[in-house]
Amino acid sequence: MRVAALYDIHGNLPALDAVLAELPDVDAIVVGGDVVPGPLGRETLDRIAGLDGVHYVMGNGDRESAEEFPEVAGWPATVTLDVDGLGPVLFCHGSPRSDTETITVLTGEDRLAPMLEGVQERVIVGGHTHRQFDRTLLGRRIVNAGSVGLPYEGVAGAFWALLGPGVELRRTAYDVEAAVERLTAAGGPAVQYLEESLVNPADPDEVARHFEGLTIEG
């Protein structure tokens, strides 16, 4: 099958709609966690609920929002799908064993190894750190699908991945200015991150160092 991986939407409905508008014909959509929290959380969950072939993966943000959005409570921590050209692919949020653990462009084999214990799949797709990559480590292909709604790529847009037969890291351009205006007006959680993600995008390498605990905070 061919799969679109849409991760870390964070209630950015305009970004999701832009991706859906240019989505090619796929057999499944993996929504890889952290649909919420975000400014248009309810509307975003409702939009996804209207799509065909959706597989959900639970993110830490969804888990922490389960009181407000009860439907997320049943989402699994991981999903495995047999993807054309790639074989069995494990979809998780942070790492295969945790929805909060971070894997970045800087993660080394020592830190990664325990996260892969017991994992059979050769290809692993995650998110959570909001930056795309496609790395080979410890004989596994480790892909980050990027973030649809709150990317840390150094450039604005909606980031996602198309899987099968290869791995295609995609960026969808949309009217970010109009989206930020709408999201800010909606208010609520994650609004404070719009500036560093979409308005004046932060340096992605600085963000990666932060996730690796390498940032020296004064």
Binding positions for Mn ion, rule: CB under 5 A: 34, 59-60, 128
**Minimum distance, C-beta of residue 13 to Mn ion, in the bound complex (Å):** 18
**Minimum distance, C-beta of residue 135 to Mn ion, in the bound complex (Å):** 19
**Minimum distance, C-beta of residue 217 to Mn ion, in the bound complex (Å):** 21
Contacts of 192 (CB under 8 A, 6+ apart): none
In the bound state with Mn ion, the residue whose beta carbon lies nearer, of 102 and 164, is 102
The tokens of 55 are what? Answer: 């597989």
Question: Rounded to an integer, what distance in angstroms lies between the CA atom of residue 3 and that of residue 26?
Answer: 6
**C-alpha distance from residue 159 to each of 135, 182, 184, 218 (Å):** 17, 19, 20, 32
In the bound state with Mn ion, the residue whose beta carbon lies nearer, of 63 and 86, is 63
In the bound state with Mn ion, the residue whose beta carbon lies nearer, of 34 and 121, is 34
In the bound state with Mn ion, the residue whose beta carbon lies nearer, of 34 and 153, is 34
In the complex, residue closest to Mn ion by CB? 128
In the bound state with Mn ion, the residue whose beta carbon lies nearer, of 128 and 170, is 128
Pairing of strands 158-163, 3-6: antiparallel
**Minimum distance, C-beta of residue 207 to Mn ion, in the bound complex (Å):** 13
